[in-house]
Amino acid sequence: MEKSMRNLPKTSEPCIMVIFGATGDLTARKLMPALYNLNRENLLPQEFACVGFARREKSNEVFREEMLQGLKEFSRSKPEEDDTWSAFSERLFYHQSPFDQDEGYEALKKMLSDLDAKFGTKGNRIFYLSTQPSYFPVIVEKLKSHKLIYDKNSSGPWSRVIIEKPFGHNLESAIGLQKHITQFLTEDQVYRIDHYLGKETVQNLLVFRFANSIYESLWNNRYIDNIQITVSEELGIGTRGKFFEEAGILRDIVQNHMMQLLSLVAMEPPVSLKATAIRDEKVKVLNAIRPIDLAQFEKQVVRGQYAAGRIEGQTVAGYREEKDVAPTSEVETYVAMKLHIDNWRWFGVPFYLRAGKRLAKRCTEIVVNFKPIPNILFQQASHNNDNNVLAIRIQPNEGIALRINCKVPGTAMPIQPVKMDFRYDAFTGVQPPEAYERLICDAIWGDNTLFIRWDEVLASWTLLTPVLDRWQKDPKPPLDSYTAGSWGPESAANMLMDEGTAWRSI
């Protein structure tokens, strides 16, 4: 029976998680802290083990020590705060092998069988692909050929594969990857992960919209002027120069994170909370986005690249001075675009998206700008575009804020905006769980609601691949430079100014 967000199971089935690329940054920063916190809160099955699979040689003891250091630095709960690490670490193991070597997979099969006998994990498997995307096809093929991935219709143990983004480099490569992995996996066995969908505020979008009649009745083109989605980061690319030179911000952020946020904001009410119903509505939104008019390209898409500047009082290098970046690189670190959704609910409402590195502030936010009131009684209020704004903060300080106009006490009639602010940490008294915690839990439960279905990937690449092709074939419009620590190139501000609006101040 298909699971839904409404009825999450209370217990998880025994299983082993195998993390490919376990010596990479993601495992120490995100995956292992997520597993540790799930175990600490009794959300992992009691019969559980984790195997790190990577090419570097190291022992179980060295791997465990590296993971411990990662927990001390990155986990929301520290291992020194309780005595759960010792027992948890005894279920962590390391397996060394190249990703394309048959002998390595045979040795892994023997190792997993031994762990089944030791921990009672019953043959259930989750394979987490945290490697470079070029390794995805060969890993899936090897897993299947060595019978580590089971047939979906098997009545015995189950196997699932979590695939990290990016899923493809453009439309053509995504279709090729899909054709390859579906030779060995069914769609129900593939869990394409986007960690934004595990964030509490993102999950709360459905509740906020469809459990509150006051907002659902206003959620249309009659009352909403525009919607802005911002994903900004203070950080540059750090040690990811080689990756970013091949990706750029559009592939890294817009094609996945931002398209997912847009679809959740704009979707119609699903017929139920089952995974299929929710994902069906998301796909309808993506398919309804008007293709970008290449004849009006400069009015719809802006790209930029950060130059040297100052952030928090420190001088930072420009993108072309970063490690492993070409000195004449034309890769974008900033994208802004205007999109329209051609359906009854959203016709005429622009969706403005912007994402960038080395911006003034780290923030992911969805801003709903309501239409101004008639300019009759309170002209001051009707001219203030920053009021009657709903802001949904994804990170940091997850929460929802609403700005409304109120009268200042006194004999006169001055109007002042008031902010009504809800924050998760203040409401619950605890720090919200990390996104990967929820998503790993869902994968163990077999609930794929918060994972991306293939037709969502297809629709997103269909929309954005023409943008990538245009940038590759035509240098116009040029790559705009912006100072690190600013809010991006001036052309992005002008794109909204030409339509009589502006980016919301964050």
CA distance 148 to 105: 8
Q: What count of Cα atoms within 13 Å lies in the side-chain half-sphere of residue 185?
A: 29
Is 180 labeled as catalytic in the residue annotation? no
DSSP 8-state secondary structure symbol assigned to residue 236: -
Contact (CB, 8 A) for 392 and 228:
no
* CA 499 to the chain's CA centroid: 29
Residues facing residue 359 across a β-bridge: 486
CA neighbours closer than 13 Å in the CB half-sphere of residue 425: 9
Question: How is the beta sheet containing 224-232 ordered, strand by strand?
Answer: 415-423, 399-407, 389-395, 363-370, 224-232, 350-356, 334-340, 301-307, 480-483
**Using an 8 Å Cβ cutoff, are 403 and 505 in contact?**
no
* 2 in Cβ contact with 111 (< 8 Å): no
SS3 assignment for 432-456: CCCHHHHHHHHHHHCCCCCCECHHH
Indicate the residue type of 43. Answer: L
DSSP letter (8 states) at residue 295? G
Cross-strand partners of 237: none
- As a whole number of angstroms, the distance between CA 47 and CA 341 comes to 47
Residue 461 pairs in a beta bridge with none
Closest CA to 146 of 110, 121, 183: 110
**Strands, DSSP E only, in 178-269?**
190-192, 224-232
Residue 352 near residue 496 (C-beta atoms within 8 A)? yes
- Tokens found for residue 468: 């990538």
Per the structure block, which two tokens stand in for 91?
């279920």
The residue whose two tokens read 């998503």 is: 439
Two tokens, residue 208: 């906020």
Nearest to 368 by CA among 230, 224, 267: 224
Active-site residue, from 95, 169, 195, 257: 257
- φ and ψ of 244, to 5 deg: -70, -30
Q: Which residues are catalytic?
A: 257
